[in-house]
Structure 1
Amino acid sequence: MIAAFFGALGSSFLYGYNLSVVNAPAQYIKAFYNKTWLERYGQPIGAETVTLLWSITVSIFAIGGLVGALSVSFIIKVLGRKGTLLVNNSFAVIAALLLSLGEMAKSFEMLIVGRFIIGVDSGIALSALPMYLGEISPRHIRGSIGQFNSILICLGVFIGQVLGLPQLLGQESRWRYLFTFLAFPALLQLCVLPFLPESPRYLLMEQRDEAGAERAFQRFLGKKDVSEELEEVHAEARARDNLHTVSVVHLLRSPAVRWQLITVIITMACYQLCGLNAIWYYTNGILREAGFAEQILPYITLSTGTIEILSAIVSGLVIERIGRKPLLIFGFSAMAFFFGLLTIFLNFQDRVLWMPYLSYICILAVIASFCSGPGGIPFILTGELFEQSYRPAAFMIAGTVNWLSNFAVGLLFPFIQEMLQTFAFLVFMVVCTFGSIYLFFVLPETKGRTFLDISQSFAKINKIPVSSPGQEMELVLSEKWEKAQDVVKMESSF
């Protein structure tokens, strides 16, 4: 629990915080761009140039995330899971300095570079953290521990909304401190995480450090006898064809994990393309239509952050009882249903006075549906569907799909919204429906199962033979017999 909380605090919390923190100071940052441009070139900046610079400032976060996701498998191979999380904090601290001091240095370039670097931090964190949490958790609470990632993302979004209120840091004289705050969770993680163990699976299967793995299991599980856990990892190692971490190319070509990879790619794409990011575009407009005063809109919007946190916590509490598959299917199906209702309500809200209130209820329902399953489980699944050697490459591909889809939504949604107007949400309804249907027919339940069991559950659809425990033991004994014969031959030869 401690490793999950502090690991997520310096990782997924910062990702969630950066999703919402730029909204409140947007007008002040644009004014800073204009002032800097005027001082440099002696003339005010054009409206198109301001829009371009602001768009780059917002969207370069996703480009940085993509770079981080592409580099994570190489960093993890060298530094391990915990080491990667620790080193990643340096990106957060550097970004905090650049974003905080940009106004003082009269350099809007520092803000853009800072947003890129914090994007790199988030791209690495969203791959390394779920991998670490999945490998340190016992089977019976692996899903609940994994949901710390989702809960801290939601908490980060909420804290970004709160600190951005006009009474706090959402003022022209204080907006830079919104970015200074980035350094505190990173520094707190740097103070705590070094005293926690590395992933025992990483130590045993990749570093061949059995004594270190045993000590790590003992500390995480709070017991001395961890022979059962060590044997589970050994069984997974014996069943693997390749004892070394595989490359992305090898993963893409391997028929043994083809449908696991397809499932993760579709789930990650639906995670970003399901339309939650587009919801924020409509929230304030619907509240204005309902007659709420402009000055109280930020406080009402906080209700969306509250719903996110509560839904993520409830999902973490019930995931080991209900399972991953039902929560994912329910989440995507409920989102599709409420997107349909929202489309109807948006088309009638000009004719009926109380219709905007129903639209806002639908928005809250969509957010709750997302956080109940799709908001966190895709990251858990990526760690569960692949065995140890494939996992870094799988997270690299999943992260790439995640950030490319994020960038595509930000780029394409304004055009979709302009073309379809209030019918834009029907596109997301189709995506959510497709996701739920695919998961219903393809995804096995992973609750309480070993990584080896989960991998073998895909054997039929991947059209590869399933090895039974007896066959595995026979294989191990035959390998030992062959080694013994080699020793006898070597001694005779000598």
Structure 2
Amino acid sequence: MGVNIGGPNLYNGFIVPWTRGHPFPCQKEGSTSQWIARKWWDCVYNDTTKNLNGYYYLPEISTKALIGQRLKDSMHNVLFVIGGFIGAFSGQYWYKCLSRRNAIFASMPFQLVASIFMIITLYIYRGYETDDPDQTTIDKATKNKDVAISFFYISRFLSGFSAGMCCVVSTSYLNEISPRALRGTVGSCHQLAIVIGILFGQIIGLPWILGRHNAWNWGMSWVGLLSLMGSIFIWTLPESPRWLVQERKQNEAAQSLRKLRQSNDIEVELIEFEEEETASNKQDLGILKVLSLNEFRWPLITTGLRDEKVFWGILATGVINLIATLVALKLIEFLGRRPLIIWPLAGIIIVMIGLTILIVLNAKNSEDKKDALAIVSIIFILLFIILFAVGLGPIPFVYSNEVFAVEARAAGLSSAMFINWFCNFLVTLFFLPLQSASGGYVFLVFCVLVALSFVLLFFKMPETKNKKLQEIQAFWK
């Protein structure tokens, strides 16, 4: 999932002209993926269109058509997120019908197929390497454009579906195999893996690796290799002992727990699993039922709201994100879940207001002052990433598994991840058009949403650190 988030930002310089019908951007040695097209095919060659690196910009788009074009340019990310929230929504059914381990395995073929489709795209609609192509060469190169772009969009959708589904089933598995004292740390490893994937995807996207006009499809598809490896190694992991208890397979649950704990002293924990199952020995609840019950409605709201971030495709942000997430692994069991959600939200409000002011000032100041403002803006962006990574990144995956009873966990967790992915969809769909319409003031929209989240969670979010399910649910009753 992290690779699918971190990589595309570095390849936009090739993806945007490719989907617009300019699949042949030139690229100088050692350059980044500037989204530039060749001088032919309604690109005008003159000093104003040629940037400092010698590229040629895409044809100018009228102000009236800009918002619509920005929406089209971000469609590959929109489809990834649409796949994500559909995958998250369906996660409850995989979760119920298959074992936890089998459900994780089931998410991997979708990414494998997505990677194959991604590789195909650039080979059937790639272009040419000559500087002065004739019309026959151009026609031949663009003949399969629609088919290739369709493969590309399907690939992004399938990648999102796999990621959304995995968010539900893998976080549940991590929660169910971890001892209570390490539940937060182990659960946060899911977000840590995402952050590592983002950083690795950014590294792979560097121009001297796969960030080139004739290799970006491999940069977006190599994650399929991880899915293939995961499909093999998943069978070395034990099944969730909690799920086995739920399925009345006590002997297998005991064997699984012994393997996980590397100890025969498992009776107390096994009894706790059985007591929890007995206390909630009810029929599984669907999503509508979960939404209708007060004891489940507040857990759903507090786990489904995750604030969004804008990913700048630069290595500094990936490194800072990784370091802050590693720090969060220690803080989550030391400070608890609630402080790491509440107070970073307050900090993000301040950062967003600061960014808005800086962007507005940058537009009004002279060039010599813009450099200083840009440096301060970068500092604010890094602060935002740190605040996100220490709590808002990892904790929702942990928290959402801690607050639902067994009978509501599948529907509740799936709904929470669906809301999360749906909010990602809204941001991906509307951010560029909003930015075009409002400029730097776009961050004030998110500032209001974060402020509302802060108030809601301050009053309705209980601490779950080292607490039993019954203690947590008592907060909402």
Q: Please state whether the residue corresponding to 1:102 is helix, strand or coil.
A: helix
What is the CA distance between 1:432 and its match in structure 2? 2.0
Query: In 2, Cα distance between the equivalents of 1:383 and 1:152?
Result: 18
Structure 2 partner of 1:261? 300
More helix by share: 1
- 2:265 & 2:326 partners in 1: Cα distance? 32
Q: In structure 2, how many angstroms separate the alpha carbons of the residues matched to 1:414 and 1:28?
A: 18
> What per-residue deviation string (whole Å, max 9, x for no partner) do you get for residues 430-474 of structure 1?
222222222222211100112232223322xxxxxxxxxxxxxxx
Q: 1:252 aligns with which of 246, 271, 291?
A: 291
- Choose 22-31 or 119-128, whichever is displaced more: 22-31
Quote how far apart the aligned CAs of 1:148 are.
Answer: 0.8
Distance 2:69 2:448 in 1: 35
Partner of 2:78: 59
Whether the 8 Å CA contact 1:35–1:44 is kept in 2: the answer is no
Aligned residue type for 1:17:
V
Q: Tell whether 2:253 aligns with 1:213.
A: yes
Partner of 1:357: 375
Question: For the residues of structure 2 that align with 1:441 and 1:29, how far apart are their CA atoms?
Answer: 44
Aligned with 2:275 (options 235, 251, 255): 235
Q: Structure 1 residues 220 and 394 mapped into 2: Cα distance closer, same or farther (>3 Å)?
A: same
Show CA shifts across 1:389-409 (max 9, x none): 111101221122112111111
CA distance in 1, matches of 2:439, 2:42: 34
* Structure 1 equivalent of residue 96 of structure 2: 77
Deviates more, 1:170-179 or 1:133-142: 170-179
Distance 2:213 2:430 in 1: 31
Q: Given that residues 30 and 50 in structure 1 are in contact (C-alpha distance below 8 angstroms), is that contact kept between their aligned partners in structure 2?
A: no
Measured after TM superposition, the shift of residue 52 of structure 1 is 6.6
Q: 1:321 Cα shift? A: 0.6
**What CA deviation, in whole Å up to 9, does each residue of 1:168-193 have, x standing for no partner?**
10112221211331112112222322
Distance 1:314 1:88 in 2: 29
Measured in 1, the distance between the counterparts of 2:250 and 2:190 equals 28
Alpha-carbon distance in 1 for matches of 2:426, 2:316: 27
330-339 or 365-374: which moved more? 330-339
**1:346 corresponding residue in structure 2:** 359
Q: CA deviation at 1:366?
A: 0.6
Cα distance in 1 for partners of 2:76, 2:250 equals 47
Structure 2: runs of 5 or more not aligned = 25-40, 44-58, 126-147
Deviation at 1:130, TM superposition (A): 1.1
Partner of 1:408: 426
Whichever residue aligns with residue 419 of structure 2, its letter is: V
Report the counterpart of residue 453 of structure 1 in structure 2: 471
User: SS state of the match for residue 74, structure 2?
Assistant: helix
Secondary structure, aligned partner of 1:172: coil
Tell me by how many angstroms 1:55 deviates: 3.3
Where do 1:372-451 residues align within 5 Å? Answer: 372-451=390-469
Letter in 2 for 1:60: L
For residues 53 and 249 of structure 1, do their structure 2 counterparts lie closer, same or farther at Cα, with a shift above 3 Å needed? same
Instruction: State the AA in 1 paired with 2:193.
Output: L
Whole-Å Cα distance in 1 between the matches of residues 380 and 419 of structure 2?
28
User: RMSD of the alignment, in Å?
Assistant: 2.3
The structure 1 segments of at least 4 consecutive aligned residues displaced by more than 6 Å after TM superposition are 43-52
Residue matched to 2:156: 115
The one-letter code of the counterpart of 2:104 is L
Aligned counterpart for 1:320 among listed residues 328, 333, 354: 333
Q: What TM-score, normalized to structure 2?
A: 0.81
How many angstroms does 1:251 deviate by? 1.4
1:32–1:103 CA contact under 8 A, matched in 2: no
Task: Note if contact 1:330-1:373 (Cα within 8 Å) is conserved in structure 2.
Answer: no
The CA deviation at 1:30 is 4.2
Rounded Cα–Cα distance in structure 1 between residues aligned with 2:22 and 2:299: 52
User: Structure 1 vs Structure 2: percent identity of aligned residues?
Assistant: 29
Q: Do the aligned residues in 2 keep the contact of 1:333 with 1:436 (CA within 8 Å)? A: yes
Question: Quick one: structure 1 residues 176 and 431, their matched pair in 2 at CA, closer, same or farther if it must change by over 3 Å?
Answer: same
Aligned counterpart, 1:271: 307
Q: Distance in 2 between matches of 1:53 and 1:343?
A: 26
- How far apart are residue 22 of structure 1 and its match? 1.7
- CA–CA distance in 1 between the matches of 2:345 and 2:321? 15
CA distance in 2, matches of 1:119, 1:429: 27
For 2:339, the aligned partner's letter is P
For the pair 1:18 / 2:4, whether they are aligned, the reply is: yes
SS in 2 for 1:234: helix
For 1:65-214, what aligned pairs fall within 5 Å after superposition? 65-106=84-125, 107-205=148-246, 207-214=247-254
Alpha-carbon separation, structure 2, partners of 1:75 and 1:217: 23
For 1:52 and 1:420, how far apart are their aligned partners in 2? 15
Q: Identify the residue that residue 9 of structure 1 maps to in structure 2.
A: none
Deviations 1:304-362 (A, max 9, x none): 11110001110011210110000111211111111222223333332535222111101
The separation in 1 between residues aligned to 2:218 and 2:336, in whole angstroms, is 41
